[in-house]
Structure 1
Amino acid sequence: MRRQGIAPLPFAQGLALLDAVLARPAGNFVPARLDLREAQHAADAGEEVPALFRALVRRNTRPARARTSVTSAPTGLRDRLLAAPAEERIELVTQLVLREVAAVLGLDSADSLAPDQVLKHLGLDSLMAVELRRGLSAATELSLPATLAFDYPTPEEIAKLILTRLDLPTTPEATPASAASDAPGDATDSEALLGWALERLSADQLRRSGLLDRLVELARESAPAPEGTATVPAPAEPAGTLDDERSVDDINAELNALLEASGFDLD
């Protein structure tokens, strides 16, 4: 409530206000002690101020000093997640949720909270749930459901929802530089490069990528194989059998025949 601009009432002041209310004929009163600091900060930052406080704060018209960037590191949540490995993203989002939960509960830190704790068991009420959703929406720039804390009762489940809605692309397993770090030193040695690549690729991978069919086509277009080497017949399929149903053993056999026909010693 303090973050929304309402400060606690001292006990004596609360009783005095109750006496004042009982002595007045009006039917409804809202005794409240306003704290306008948050509303003033919002007004100075150009943010929307709650209607109740708009006549009580003045917007600072002095131009804000431009902030100089001291680092090129990503600052937004999405940028930080894109820069992180895919397997670490859920942990980063979970820590964000835990920090927001700690702030809503009035805790100094999130160290005492666990990702699988049920928020309702920690004392989270409806007002806190609204505050949690608002804080997470601002931090993630996502439109989160109004029943967030009740449909997703633990920080871990909330983090998974946020990560799903961010819909981030998967991080490549290796960059071209790292993937080729153990490639043959002489990039002009075509046979060495081909052998190096074939050692790391299975026939199934070549088949799914379409490279196997292309290799077979190139082999058929090349000069006749030397006498005594294997030839690669056109792949025949049983009637009613789909191409995708061929076994990995069949594909491996076809690839081996192709390599032998191309002059590679498989021994």
Structure 2
Amino acid sequence: MVRAVAAPGPTTDDRGESTTGLDTDGTVLITGGTGTLGTLVAEHLVRAWGVRHLLLVSRSGPEAAGAGELTDTLTELGAEVRIAAVDVTDPDAVAALVAGVDSAHPLTGVVHAAGVLDDGVLTTQTPERLARVWRPKATAAAHLHAATAELPLSLFVMFSSTAGTLGASGQSNYAAANAYCDALAARRRALGLPGLSVAWGLWADASGMTGHLGEADRARMTRSGIGAMSSERALGLLDAAVRHGHHHLIAIDLDVRALAGRPALTLPAPLRALAGGGTARRTAATARPHTDWAGHLAALPLEEQRRTLLNLVLSHAAAALGHSDPGRIQTERGFLELGFDSLTAIELRNRLTAVTGLRLATTLIFDHPNPAALAAHLHSELAPEDADPLAPMLGEIDRMESALLSVAQDETAHEALLERLRTTLSKLGALHGGGTEEGPAAGRIQDATADEIFQFIDEDLGRSESNGEHAHGGTR
């Protein structure tokens, strides 16, 4: 494992005095001060930095869960603590908070650790969702900067995120807010003021922002090469960042072997050089980009072309879900049924974009809802002259099936859908058989179930199930 910064030793000298340049008799303000990270930082400042006066700010203030126990702990360690309920997105409230600091222990440091998440892919972002994340992170940072610009601070640290530096699936709004903090740190330095933005990776201690992450989410991050830091390690990196002197640093645990196992183009640009040093064996999931797929496929028989692309999809789908064996991915099952969500969908799309060179839509697995359908789409893009001319229409049927079955649980809707499908298929059957709507085809579908209707579509449109290319979502 490698880290972006290496933590030095303790931040006090042999006499127990702070070596960070911070006046330990002054007051340090921590936003998000009653949250998981704020609590850890507060105790660390008292234990390791010798800080004796803390002003902890949060939306709930003294009413926050654990606030009383936190006060008792810090008091026992010799610190004087005040916990305040303040809306840090309100400039007047922030100005009043700063002005109200006891002049006997003036404000000497600020740690802005507040923030919220509202994850979602880019196409689902709205001004409201951006504002929900922007205000407690970026707007609050701007207010803290304005309220303290004339004070002789020694410390102004903002908790940023690697989302703003390296990118993070589903966190475009959070990335923007943290990028603002990174820029504000540079701006403060240009004005001769202290300023540091630490772009954090994942802390192992679940906070209000990361407590929703399940095992699958953490496993996905681990596969991407980003490990979860223990609180001890993270706090050591905070010390290192303060000592380092640069205005913007990344504090993250990276697994270079995991990075080397991913297609380079799926990695953030700053990490590609690190990944290039790995020795991981190349497989279908780590294939080199810029393969001449048109030439490669042209040299293969048609069935081998299809099989090659299907194996490519299965390999990358397995990698996105954390499976070492692509055989665990069933060709006919829908991606959502296989366990894909919006983030793993983006990962699969990025992987396939990297290895094929195609510009694939972010809605890829929703447009082509199972591995067979997706492989057929890639075939139509990479070898259009050999692709099945019915593939686009069959893809539409796949999407229609997924939509129909999602609403057919309602009995009224179920009957209405069946009636409409029977009418459409009766017309199709009449054309296909050269008869009328009352001919053999109509008789076949008159009393058909939904499953039988979809089977009829497959058979009468020439869909072969014997070659493993059946593309429906595995609901039958």
What interval of TM-score do these two structures reach, taking the shorter chain for normalisation?
0.3 to 0.5
- TM-score using structure 1 length: 0.43
Larger-gyration structure (1/2): 1
Q: Which structure carries more strand by proportion?
A: 2
- TM-score using structure 2 length: 0.25
